[in-house]
């Protein structure tokens, strides 16, 4: 009975259609959103997503894009609220092109026909042009086609397309890669985050802000930033640019403090040095800066006075906005906003709110079978590192929890490390492991976001040190409270979480089994082959050649002879961020030392698995590994 229920749950979790890309029209009459699964149906078929529109007054929803086999994504409202621009592969499954379509229907107009993918579309303030990122070429590659490393790298460039004539103009030079951009309100300039590094995956860590004049093409650096940055936002008066900056481990996972700098240059001013939020999204609004942030167990929306730095709280609650992405809302001219919201107990839904109060109202719902996905029982948990640092996490109880009884523990370690657990309805690993009968601890050790920049940067140069001790102290606390059985402990994680799993089993024999997914196991060998070695430089505060002993000493491979824990290693064959060789090295060593282990490499898969069959197989193997070593 348990096997059948778990199998159904795994398929349900993989197949749930999750709403994303919620945007309100500026007139506040409509909301657009994307609905689709997180997977490719099979190895040869791209993911399929559809754009939907909700009329706010009537709450009526209609499908906007008609194709049932295409990937339609990134809907963006025109300034007059009469059209939606979006990207789609409807013409060619291998290429995402830009389209525009009237909101009341009709044929979508294809605005681009480029070899490659169009990304990040953004209307000009007057609605005459749409900017977008494009990293292909107008000509197909010729034979022979050898790849010369660090030469002829396809960089993201900003292009403009005229919405009437379809005239195409490249804006940024071929010599730099653009990561993000924002329009000035007068439509004459763009602020861009860019790098000339030959490998964009590394260049993001040292990318710099520039302003480009669209009439002259002149580009000037705004200032020199020392940490990572993102969320560029141009003030309505054209005099200031706001952004978020801090120590960040991964491109796209923007989290830090809010700064403002003059458009003429100079030193930026930090507006949130005394705020213990991790701010992930900003937008100019009502003479100030609207922001979304994580704070301990909650999502926070607030407003900052750019002159005084004073913050006004708009809303705060134990829920997630935009899943694990930025705490972003879409705001109409009247102050109404929309966003995807969920929590441990409420399925993902599109909510409406107002900047004037903390009253969120559901706009749409998803048909999630609560009989297959039972209600999670979750509570906040706080404990202390031996040095006195307070650590927070979420404790998830099994459905039949009985007070006074000790339960098996599954310690679920998150990746990043600049990331963190939030009140998320899906919580896939926690759902599966509690269904087996485990208590699940989801800790946010130092290096996690949600607790201010000092906490988020506290693990730099100390990977596997304080963060592992934070996590291990959480296990001790649960044992001391009588909640978990010290003889029935398991640990699992993905990406940086996979590294901490591999590290943990070299430091202790307390775990009966372990699951390490997409893990780095040797910082020595990883540095020479990984696509974004600047991740390692950023998180260690040094590169492997200048501080070899530190990188080696924090590598699980350096201590692998100590391991006794049965370990499941899972990895994507094409993972550029943690090459599969890392799992192979560790597996070979575990076999040599007689440790029960299994290595599963999934063909074609990158860092996050994309194919439905692989996602299901991965979850089934995880459950089977824990059943075998924790319950049999």
Confidence tier at 147 by pLDDT (50, 70, 90)? confident
Distance between CA atoms of 590 and 597, rounded to whole angstroms? 7
Confidence tier at 104 by pLDDT (50, 70, 90)? confident
Other Cβ atoms closer than 10 A to 542: 15
- For residue 67, whether the previous peptide bond is cis, meaning omega lies within 30 degrees of 0, is no
Confidence tier at 370 by pLDDT (50, 70, 90)? low
Helix runs in 197-329, H state only: 200-203
Confidence tier at 406 by pLDDT (50, 70, 90)? very high
**Residues 312-317, mean pLDDT to the nearest whole number:** 95
At 565-615, the pLDDT tens digits run: 999 999 999 999 999 999 999 999 999 999 999 999 999 999 999 999 999
145 has a pLDDT exceeding 90: no
Percent residues over pLDDT 70 in the chain: 97
Please report the pLDDT score of residue 40 as a whole number: 85
At 243-272, the pLDDT tens digits run: 999 999 999 899 999 999 999 989 999 999
Q: In the chain, where are the structural domains located?
A: 377-631
Averaged pLDDT score across all residues of the chain? 94
What superfamily in CATH does domain 377-631 come from? Alpha/Beta hydrolase fold, catalytic domain (3.40.50.1820)
Please report the pLDDT score of residue 592 as a whole number: 99
First and final CA of the chain: distance in angstroms? 17
Other Cβ atoms closer than 10 A to 428: 17
Confidence tier at 1 by pLDDT (50, 70, 90)? very low
Dmax (CA) of the chain = 73
**Residues 427-446, mean pLDDT to the nearest whole number:** 97
Q: Calculate helix-pair angle for 612-626, 2-15, nearest 10 degrees.
A: 140
Please report the pLDDT score of residue 480 as a whole number: 98
Residue 594: which region, alpha, beta or left (left: phi > 0; alpha: psi -120 to 50)? left
Helix runs in 185-328, H state only: 200-203
Q: Are 380 and 397 in contact (CB under 8 A)?
A: no
Poorest-pLDDT segment among 251-255, 323-327, 499-503: 323-327
Poorest-pLDDT segment among 129-138, 273-282, 287-296, 492-501: 129-138
Confidence tier at 142 by pLDDT (50, 70, 90)? low
Please report the pLDDT score of residue 325 as a whole number: 84
Please report the pLDDT score of residue 316 as a whole number: 96
141 has a pLDDT exceeding 60: no
Percent residues over pLDDT 90 in the chain: 85
Pick the closest to residue 192 from 222, 162, 168 (CA basis). 222
82 has a pLDDT exceeding 80: yes
Question: Helix/strand/coil (H, E, C) string of 391-442?
Answer: EEEEEEECCCCCCCCCEEEEEEECCCCCCCCCCCCCCHHHHHHHHHCCEEEE
Q: Are 446 and 522 in contact (CB under 8 A)?
A: no
**Residues 373-400, mean pLDDT to the nearest whole number:** 95
Distance between CA atoms of 441 and 283, rounded to whole angstroms? 35
At 35-67, the pLDDT tens digits run: 988 788 888 888 889 999 999 999 999 999 977
3-state secondary structure at position 490 = strand
Confidence tier at 355 by pLDDT (50, 70, 90)? very high
Look at strands 439-444 and 390-397 and give their pairing. Answer: antiparallel
Pick the closest to residue 622 from 137, 112, 9 (CA basis). 9
Please report the pLDDT score of residue 136 as a whole number: 77
């Amino acid at each position: 009975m348990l096997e059948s229920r778990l199998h159904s749950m795994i398929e349900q979790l993989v197949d749930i259609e999750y709403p994303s890309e919620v945007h309100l029209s500026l007139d506040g009459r409509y909301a657009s959103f994307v609905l689709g699964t997180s997977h490719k149906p099979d190895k040869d078929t791209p993911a399929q997503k559809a754009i939907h529109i909700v009329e706010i007054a009537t709450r009526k929803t209609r499908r906007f894009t008609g194709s049932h086999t295409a990937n339609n994504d990134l809907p963006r409202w025109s300034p007059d609220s009469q059209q939606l621009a979006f990207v789609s592969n409807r013409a060619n499954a291998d290429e995402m092109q830009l389209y525009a379509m009237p909101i009341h229907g009709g044929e979508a107009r294809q605005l681009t026909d480029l070899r490659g993918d169009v990304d990040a579309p953004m209307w000009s303030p007057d609605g005459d042009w749409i900017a977008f990122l494009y990293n292909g070429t107008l000509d197909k590659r010729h034979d022979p086609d050898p790849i010369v490393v660090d030469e002829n790298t396809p960089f993201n460039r900003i292009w403009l397309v005229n919405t009437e004539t379809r005239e195409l103009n490249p804006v940024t030079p071929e010599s730099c890669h653009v990561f993000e951009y924002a329009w000035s309100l007068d439509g004459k300039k763009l602020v861009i985050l860019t790098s000339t590094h030959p490998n964009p995956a590394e260049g993001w860590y040292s990318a710099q802000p520039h302003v480009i004049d669209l009439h002259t093409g002149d580009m000037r650096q705004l200032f020199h930033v020392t940490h990572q940055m993102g969320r560029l936002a141009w003030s309505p008066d054209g005099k200031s640019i706001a952004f978020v900056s801090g120590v960040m481990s991964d491109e796209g996972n923007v989290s830090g403090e809010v700064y403002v700098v003059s458009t003429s240059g100079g030193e930026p001013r930090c507006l949130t040095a005394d705020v213990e939020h991790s701010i992930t999204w900003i937008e100019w609004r009502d003479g100030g800066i609207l922001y979304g942030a994580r704070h301990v167990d909650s999502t926070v929306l607030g407003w900052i006075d750019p002159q005084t730095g004073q913050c006004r709280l708009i809303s705060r609650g134990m829920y997630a906005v935009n899943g694990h992405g930025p705490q972003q809302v879409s705001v109409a001219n009247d102050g109404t906003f929309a966003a995807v919201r969920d929590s441990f107990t409420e399925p993902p839904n599109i909510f409406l709110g107002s900047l004037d109060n903390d009253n969120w109202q559901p706009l749409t719902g998803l048909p999630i079978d609560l009989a297959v996905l039972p209600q999670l029982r979750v509570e906040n948990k706080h404990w202390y590192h031996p040095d006195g640092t307070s650590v927070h996490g979420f404790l998830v109880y099994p459905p039949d929890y009985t007070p006074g009884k000790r339960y098996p523990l599954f310690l679920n370690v998150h990746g990043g490390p600049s990331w963190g657990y939030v009140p998320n309805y899906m919580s896939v690993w926690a759902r599966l492991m509690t269904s087996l009968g485990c208590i699940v601890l989801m800790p946010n050790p130092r290096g996690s976001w949600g607790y201010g920049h000092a906490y988020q940067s506290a693990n730099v140069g100390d990977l596997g040190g304080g963060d592992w001790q934070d996590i291990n102290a959480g296990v001790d606390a649960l044992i001391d409270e009588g909640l978990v059985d010290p003889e029935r402990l398991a640990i699992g994680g993905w990406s940086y979480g996979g590294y901490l799993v591999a590290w943990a089993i070299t430091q202790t024999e307390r775990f009966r089994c372990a699951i390490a997914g997409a893990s780095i196991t040797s910082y020595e060998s990883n540095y020479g082959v990984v696509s974004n070695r600047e991740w390692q430089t950023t998180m260690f505060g040094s590169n492997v050649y200048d501080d070899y002993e530190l990188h080696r000493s924090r590598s699980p491979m350096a201590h692998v002879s100590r391991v006794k824990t049965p370990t499941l290693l899972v990895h994507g064959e094409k993972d550029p961020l943690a090459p599969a060789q890392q799992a192979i090295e560790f597996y070979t060593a575990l076999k040599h030392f007689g440790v029960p282990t299994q290595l599963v490499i999934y063909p074609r898969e990158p860092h996050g698995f994309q194919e439905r069959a692989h996602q299901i197989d991965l979850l089934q193997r995880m459950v089977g590994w824990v059943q075998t070593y924790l319950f049999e």
